């Protein structure tokens, strides 16, 4: 129809399901909860759980219609208590755990179940001052700033990748309490933002491109070159190199963020798209010459598999002197 605009299909991304663990006031939990009520929030709180049945945050969550779970840790072996907490989290079908003032150390086993899916907020500028009494220690050290960090939880206490920080100036005469109160303002800003960005990474073209770039440029003699305004990756010299991958962010009204790589034949391409439409699509233009689109903005993308596709596509266009080396290495 003349003059008709093509409206790109809406991204219907389900919201990430978060279980929040608290031990006390739960003001960070409340910050996450009210942030989740914003219309564009990429996460929802599906459970608030505590090791202290009298934690004030539980009542707040219940009043807001959020499921709660409480189990006192006293008198229970650590592993037993944790297993019951985790069972409640699994029953709530949570995708991520956000620790928010949860005062129990989590065992390595549980941490490993939630690797990359458990975040914590810690009231210091990590790696400074892991553990307790962070504000008093920052003041005693004469630091100009205290602050807050949100990090991934790993086996080692407060040592996982830092996802975001805010520094808070220490004022003359500050005590641990006065500083803690100001740091809380920063905490309430930081945690919802970092959590939102983190759970959205799989739909964030910049993040996806960064991962592709890392894999593509790890292959021999590769460089990045844009083509028709999109990032692409070539093998060979700057002058005569050939493209082996193209990054496509929602091109031509397609809702996918995709990576285009070469298949072996049209048959293979058609077969992939037909049998695994959740993972592959036939891209405009490139599809006609046997390139397939790998869908990157979907849950559970297997990045090893993306790496294998990149290598295969690289081999298909790399000069023989390079593929020979690669083949020799394979035989070795």
Binding site for ligand GRF (CB under 6 A): 22, 24-28, 100-101, 121-123, 187
Question: How near is the Cβ of 190 to ligand GRF at its closest, in Å?
Answer: 10
Dig out the tokens for 97 from the structure.
């755990």
27 among annotated binding-site residues:
yes
23 among annotated binding-site residues:
no
In the complex with ligand GRF, the residue whose CB is nearer, 135 or 256, is 135
Question: How near is the Cβ of 230 to ligand GRF at its closest, in Å?
Answer: 41
Please choose, from the candidates 200, 185, 275, the residue with its C-alpha nearest in 3D space to the C-alpha of residue 13: 200
In the complex with ligand GRF, the residue whose CB is nearer, 177 or 331, is 177
115 among annotated binding-site residues:
no
3 among annotated binding-site residues:
no
Question: How near is the Cβ of 25 to ligand GRF at its closest, in Å?
Answer: 4
297 among annotated binding-site residues:
no
**HEC profile of the chain:** CCCCCCCCCCCCCCCEEEEEEECCCCHHHHHHHHHHCCCCCCEEEEEEEECCCCCHHHHHHHHCCCCEEECCCCCCCHHHHHHHHHHHHHHCCCCEEEECCCCCCCCHHHHHHCCCCEEEEECCCCCCCCCCCHHHHHHHCCCCEEEEEEEECCCCCCCCCEEEEEEEECCCCCCHHHHHHHHHHHHHHHHHHHHHHHHCHHHCHHHHHHHHHHHHHCCCCEEEEEECCEEEEEECCCCCCEEEEEEEECHHHCCCEEEEEECCCHHHHHHHHHHCCCCEECCCCHHHHCEEEEECCCCCCCHHHHHHHHHHHHHHHCCHHHHHHHHHHHHC
Q: Is 251 a catalytic residue?
A: no
Question: How near is the Cβ of 189 to ligand GRF at its closest, in Å?
Answer: 13
In the complex with ligand GRF, the residue whose CB is nearer, 28 or 51, is 28
In the complex with ligand GRF, the residue whose CB is nearer, 46 or 121, is 121
In the complex with ligand GRF, the residue whose CB is nearer, 121 or 272, is 121
In the complex with ligand GRF, the residue whose CB is nearer, 143 or 187, is 187
Question: How near is the Cβ of 111 to ligand GRF at its closest, in Å?
Answer: 16
Identified catalytic residue from 81, 113, 122, 305:
122
The rounded Cα 260 to chain-centroid distance in angstroms is 23
Question: How near is the Cβ of 8 to ligand GRF at its closest, in Å?
Answer: 39
Which residue shows structure tokens 């779970």? 69
How far apart are alpha carbons 175 and 197 in whole angstroms? 33
Q: Which residues are annotated as a binding site?
A: 26-28, 78, 120
Q: Which residues are annotated as a binding site for (6R)-10-formyltetrahydrofolate?
A: 78, 120
List, by residue number, the catalytic residues: 122
């Amino acid at each position: 129809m003349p003059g008709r605009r093509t409206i790109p299909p809406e991204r219907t991304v389900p919201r990430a399901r978060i279980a929040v663990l608290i031990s006390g006031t739960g003001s960070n939990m409340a910050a996450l909860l009210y942030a989740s009520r914003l219309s564009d929030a990429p996460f929802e709180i599906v459970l608030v759980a505590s090791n202290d049945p009298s934690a004030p945050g539980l009542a707040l969550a219940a009043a807001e219609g959020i499921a709660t779970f409480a189990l006192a840790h006293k008198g229970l072996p650590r592993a037993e208590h944790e297993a019951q907490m985790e069972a409640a989290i699994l029953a709530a079908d949570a995708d991520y755990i956000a620790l928010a003032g949860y005062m129990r150390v989590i065992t390595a086993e549980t941490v490993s179940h939630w690797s990359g899916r458990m975040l914590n907020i810690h009231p210091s500028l990590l790696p400074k001052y892991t553990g307790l009494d962070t504000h008093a220690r920052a003041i005693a050290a004469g630091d100009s700033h205290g602050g807050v960090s949100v990090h991934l939880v790993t086996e080692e206490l407060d040592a996982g990748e830092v996802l975001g920080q805010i520094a808070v100036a220490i004022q003359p005469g500050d005590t641990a309490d006065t500083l803690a109160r100001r740091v809380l303002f920063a905490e309430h800003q930081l945690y919802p933002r970092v959590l939102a960005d983190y759970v959205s990474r799989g739909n964030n073209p910049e993040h996806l491109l960064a991962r592709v770039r890392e894999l593509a440029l790890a292959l021999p003699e590769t460089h990045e070159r844009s083509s028709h305004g999109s990032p692409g990756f070539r093998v060979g010299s700057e002058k005569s190199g050939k493209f082996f991958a193209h990054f496509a962010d929602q091109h031509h009204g397609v809702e996918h963020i995709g990576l285009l790589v070469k298949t072996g034949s049209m048959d293979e391409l058609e077969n992939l798209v037909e049998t695994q439409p959740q993972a592959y699509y036939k891209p405009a233009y490139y599809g006609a010459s046997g390139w397939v689109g790998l869908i990157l903005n979907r849950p559970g993308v297997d990045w090893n598999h993306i790496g294998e596709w990149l290598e295969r596509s690289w081999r298909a266009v790399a000069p023989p002197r390079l593929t020979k080396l690669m083949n020799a290495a394979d035989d070795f």
